[in-house]
Chain A
């Protein structure tokens, strides 16, 4: 994500993300994937795109598309739902198509990777009451009402949705949890909410998540 410079003789510059490692002694190997850098731009319906499309793929899948009319987008959403198993409910298909059409008529969002620095959580704590509304709108599908990762699609995801009542989550600092909400979790269905939610909504939903108990 970080280093920029000239590749000598090529004139190509770029950012670097992730890492790979091979451990000769244990014969294990590992790989770190980067996160979806941008997510969807805010707008009517963006929460549906963030909540469903990003389960399986990054937002660039939409932003790279040439201009398609709304019939074509309808076909694409239909294929995602009925062929690829996207759990988007019927009543949200139309607003989703409208959102995708709105995104497809504008020039491509700036998808350049920029490292997202964790934001310090200041004294202005979120409001758990408002956070509950945000949570029930955007988070329950995967994390479930209880927060245990038992929403309708949560357990089937690879990896499964996080149990927010487990110590892995409750033990994290506010800064870390907020960074996860903002940037999503690399290589999982947890999308980046930095554009889809306002700063206040992020703080609110964080405050609500803190009230979830085992």
Chain B
């Protein structure tokens, strides 16, 4: 072991043991050296879609889009395991590579400053003991989730559908913290900053802002726990912002500064990046440049089939279950429709347990192939204010807001 540790940076005995555990003890030892050549990958169904599977610390093998800063996608089959996404499978997306590698939890402080009556400096203990604690199930979805499916293709992180996850978040309501600090009347936006820093001098630090009304919403949390455990390092340990219903770009990880602004944030990550066309569709004709844009905000309604993959075979005459998940921006899923013929006929799927308006909602339908033919399985979610998924994809240069009905092709045999 020693010689292994010496020769391989980042590897420790503990790491090897844990890995052996993850893999059910089937780690291969060859001449005292563990073999990596057989590592596998998942290939997403678009050009340049090959993603090696690598287990970062506290994570099972995930699809590596980029190593530094890390962007890791959840293999889609994980979403068939249950409506909550395990912490070790939860996707990872950082913007700048200066991510801390160590933290002193005793000296860590969350600072609230700017247009407030009483600037605060809160320890982790303060947050856990001197405020009310709240738990909430919510989907965290990258604004660029599914960007790789944009047609024509667009620049940016080439995600499949796995840059999302659902978890129970525990923490303190942001508005309780802001109440204690006392917003000045001139407060317009609240800006959040994490401990991550850019590497090069000229790179804009990754900071994001929410309008005061949004930040004061009853569901917005400063969270320290995810699915009953401390946040994984790569998901924002020790604290992250949770903005249910809103894209993950606002869910600042390792959040340590909350700054109350008296004007709209004009920094790069708000004024130039993460923006969508200002019209209600958030789209433009494919290939065109939008005119006016606005910061991306709430998520769109979506659903997925999780238990069948493209190209699967099903014996004719055999009735099978089709399972999936659906979610929206917090109104809650009203119903999910299922079609086995590419959207010509729809049946109503049965909804699973309701874990709250911001959570994934499980659904199920039955399907019996009757011919030796290709069946186009689709699901279409409609939320409680009547918003439905689009039947054809919208397009914008950022590859944002995708919520088209997705299709899984299976063969009756």
Could you tell me which A residues sit within 8 Å of B by CB distance? Answer: 1-8, 10, 12-21, 27-37, 55-58, 60-61, 63-68, 72, 76, 83-87, 107-108, 111-115, 117-118, 153, 156-158, 179, 183, 186-187, 189
Contact = CB atoms under 8 A, between A and B. Distances in A.
A183 B54 CA distance: 18
Interface in B375-398: none
B97 A10 contact: no
B202 interface: yes
A189 B46 CA distance: 30
B285 interface: no
A37 B15 CA distance: 19
Interface in B2-37: 4, 7-12, 14-16, 19-20, 22-28, 34-37
Contacts of A187: 68, 97, 99, 101
Contacts of B281: none
A157 B38 CA distance: 36
Nearest to A155: B201
The residue among A3, A85, A111, A158 with the most chain B CB atoms within 10 A of its own CB is: A3
Contacts, number: 241
B47 interface: yes
B374 interface: no
A5 B28 contact: yes
B64 A111 contact: yes
A65 B155 contact: yes
Contact of B56 (A6, A13, A34, A64): A34
Given A5-B28, A30-B101, A34-B56, A13 B199 contact: no
B255 interface: no
B355 interface: no
B292 interface: no
B281 to A, nearest CB: 23
A118 B55 contact: no
A34 B67 contact: yes
B22 A7 contact: yes
Interface string B244-288: 000000000000000000000000100010000000000000000
Which 5 interchain pairs have the tightest Cβ spacing? A85-B202, A14-B61, A5-B23, A14-B53, A5-B26
Nearest to B104: A28
Contacts of B35: 4
A3 B13 CA distance: 12
Interface string B33-74: 011111111100011101011111110111011111110000
A113 B198 CA distance: 25
A22 to B, nearest CB: 8
A12 B106 CA distance: 38
Nearest to B103: A29
Contacts of A111: 50, 52, 64
Interface of B: 4, 7-12, 14-16, 19-20, 22-28, 34-42, 46-48, 50, 52-58, 60-62, 64-70, 75, 77, 96-106, 148, 153-155, 157-158, 197-204, 233, 237-238, 268, 272
A14 B40 contact: yes
A21 B58 CA distance: 10
Contacts of B16: 2-3
B272 A58 contact: no
Given A18-B57, A68-B155, A113-B54, A5 B10 contact: no
A8 to B, nearest CB: 5
A11 to B, nearest CB: 9
A156 B201 contact: yes
Contacts of B106: 27
A141 to B, nearest CB: 11
Contacts of A118: 7
A32 B13 CA distance: 14
B57 A8 contact: no
Given A58-B67, A84-B203, A29 B11 contact: no
B48 A66 contact: yes
A6 B23 contact: yes
A58 B60 CA distance: 21
A37 B82 CA distance: 33
A3 B105 contact: no
A3 B4 CA distance: 12
Contacts of A84: 198, 200, 202-204
Contacts of A115: 7-8, 36
A151 B8 CA distance: 30
A56 B96 contact: yes
Contacts of B102: 28-31
Nearest to A30: B102
15 contacts: A3-B34, A4-B34, A4-B39, A5-B26, A14-B40, A14-B61, A15-B53, A19-B14, A29-B103, A56-B200, A61-B66, A67-B47, A107-B48, A108-B48, A114-B37
A13 B105 CA distance: 34
The residue among A1, A28, A114, A153 with the most chain B CB atoms within 10 A of its own CB is: A1
A15 B54 contact: yes
A29 B68 contact: no
A28 B101 CA distance: 11
A3 B36 CA distance: 6
